[in-house]
Chains A and B, each alone.
Chain A
């Protein structure tokens, strides 16, 4: 290895400086021009385009609709609503089917097997009533909606619709002082926030990149779609006539997703006016041609890439969480379980923001993964409501595979439409999951911005839920 001396390096640089001086200002432009000119010459020699113009260009006609200033947004909402509607309608039956096998058949079998070989009660409690049931729950609640939602979403992506969403949104983001490409990373966040945070690398300016990272959490992710869909089905769909229930709940989920976009715009605007001041930089966004989606391949990859991976992650986190749930529900201090004590303690505060102690505890247990919030909420609700005949003891998750069964339990636990709405809002506005927080740290290398990204949404969630609750109570007198 040759040792480089600083002296020689400086010599190179000073020579470069002198030469640059001689060349004059505009040689970069000249260079670019000569590249373009060369490209044009070569292309002209080998490319021939048919003289006859196609009578009808499908791409252009479609783009005129989906990126139109008037129709662009309504079309976007309708497409999203259709996707959710199919998901809501399609997921219920397979969910019930899975729950009946995993929970009604296999769970008692495991219990009686454990009993027959003399497993101590606490051990079979932790393993079967805690870990196994949490896993069974996650599979039966999450697998069907994911198996329907992800392929549909991937088909849209493969077809080329997502860049059109970005195209529609670009102007709004620029006006919020953020980079237009943030619309793309936001769309990426609809799949997974951690992926969305990594995707912000396409943004050159560090200021705008930070804004994109902090606000990515406002894109509902894989882990939170099922919560939204389930709660919307139970509480929003439950208050309207059955014929339109599916449609209304789908619209509610779209509403929350749109609200997330609104929040990301508002927060971007706020940040670019305060902590991260600056002007938006320009960029060009290329709209790729529409491509006929490869349906079979898309089904395959979205099942393997997304559904199975997300499900696996949920199961991995659900198993220890299930154990924790069983333990906090069964270890007693002074006659009351730890879970009960905690819930009673935070309940008064939680009620002010329209939630309850159960939801807060569930969120704390589910910090590693958003996916297991709903199973945890349900199980804890049973303990608090003291429902008998549903589960086979405290800390046992029960058969609530269908949305209506889940609804019965939640209503018995004192849930109202307001609780449902607030849970949907809080699920949109709370700290990112642990994976995303870690990714944010890796990307920003800054504890400060990691903390901002973590606590900003949770503070917002509390504030929003508080106001919604107070206003709701003002009007309903409840």
Chain B
């Protein structure tokens, strides 16, 4: 039963294990090197992971929909300063309620350096729907497979290495409530953010030829008009689906500066960020 328990004490001598290198900054952080987004289905423990990493005490609760706005915090690890953004839980990036839009817009336009997707290990298949959608938008992602203790209790066994190979991103099993697996997660965040680990994210199969070519055509056109915007494929897909908020953003030309609008940051911060 305890064979696959994530026992950290065994690897205290391993370079991965650098407890001393984590400095929790809470919200007192003026500038940062990397931005981390924390996404995932509702009630998978995003806020618990967030609190573990930042030392903040965001109220956590065992119910879906607890976080409706973004919470931000920071930490320092291996001499890099990370800003971490806790997003509201969402089942998909394809719908349009306010809380889901917050998550979607941030991943889409906020261009986080790493998106950590927190998934419920006991409901992996359903959680993967969101993972796959995130991987369509961003290359740099980590799957934090949380609630491993519950999976164990429910006699669910997950082959983490196969999963990681299939998805092409790091998969870190954790038990955030017990603060287990956080070191590995931190290390992985650091590696992906600094480019030491290059993700080769899984791309969805089985999209029709027609769809692919339509997305390609539209995406090219979008890129010509808005060379700065990331994920033009995703924007193209949303336009094809008739997503009203994206259509409006194109019509008003807001798409070009949506990044700074949605993040609500000041000009100075933007310049600072560009300097980094």
Residues of A that sit less than 8 Å from B by CB: 1-2, 4, 6, 8-13, 15-16, 19-20, 22-23, 27-28, 30-32, 34-40, 42-43, 45-50, 52, 54, 157-160, 162-163, 166, 181, 184, 198-199, 201-204, 285-286, 288-291, 294, 301, 304-305
Contacts and interface: CB of A to CB of B under 8 A. Distances in A.
B59 A305 contact: yes
B217 A19 contact: yes
A291 B177 contact: yes
Contact of B65 (A35, A43, A50, A199): A199
Contacts of A157: 61-63
A342 to B, nearest CB: 40
A284 to B, nearest CB: 9
Given A2-B226, A16-B247, A184-B65, 20 more contacts: A12-B250, A19-B214, A31-B211, A32-B94, A34-B205, A39-B129, A39-B132, A43-B128, A46-B158, A48-B158, A49-B155, A157-B61, A162-B62, A199-B68, A201-B98, A204-B96, A285-B64, A288-B63, A301-B59, A304-B57
Given A13-B251, A45-B166, A23 B64 contact: no
Given A28-B241, A43-B124, A38 B205 contact: yes
Contact of A202 (B97, B204, B237, B250): B97
- 8 closest A-B pairs by beta carbon, nearest first, are A50-B155, A39-B128, A43-B125, A4-B253, A204-B97, A16-B239, A46-B163, A160-B62
A291 B205 contact: no
B204 A34 contact: yes
Interface string B199-233: 00010111110110010011001100111000000
B263 interface: no
A8 B225 CA distance: 7
Nearest to A161: B62
Contacts of B163: 42, 45-46
A275 B259 CA distance: 37
22 contacts: A8-B225, A9-B225, A9-B253, A16-B218, A16-B236, A22-B214, A27-B240, A31-B207, A32-B94, A38-B204, A42-B163, A48-B159, A157-B62, A158-B61, A160-B63, A162-B61, A163-B63, A198-B69, A201-B98, A286-B64, A288-B64, A301-B60
Interface in B146-170: 150, 154-160, 162-163, 166-167
B43 interface: yes
Contacts of B129: 35-36, 39
B126 interface: yes
B133 interface: yes
B149 to A, nearest CB: 9
A71 to B, nearest CB: 21
Contacts of B99: 201-202
Contacts of B250: 9, 12-13
A459 B126 CA distance: 47
Contact of B240 (A1, A4, A20, A35): A20
Q: Which of A37, A46, A158 has the most CB of B within 10 A?
A: A46
Given A4-B253, A31-B211, A46-B158, A184 B63 contact: yes
B112 interface: no
A166 B65 CA distance: 12
Contacts of B221: 11-12, 15
B42 interface: yes
Q: Which of B61, B163, B177, B205 has the most CB of A within 10 A?
A: B61
B242 interface: yes
Given A16-B239, A47-B157, A27 B208 contact: yes
Nearest to B161: A46
Contacts of A40: 125
B251 A9 contact: yes
B256 interface: yes
B1 to A, nearest CB: 11
Given A16-B239, A35-B133, A38-B206, A202 B61 contact: no
A390 to B, nearest CB: 41
Given A288-B62, A291-B177, A42 B166 contact: yes
Contacts of B190: none
Contacts of A37: 206
Nearest to A302: B59
B256 A202 contact: no
B216 to A, nearest CB: 10
Contact of B167 (A42, A159, A181): A42
A196 B33 CA distance: 35
A20 B247 CA distance: 13
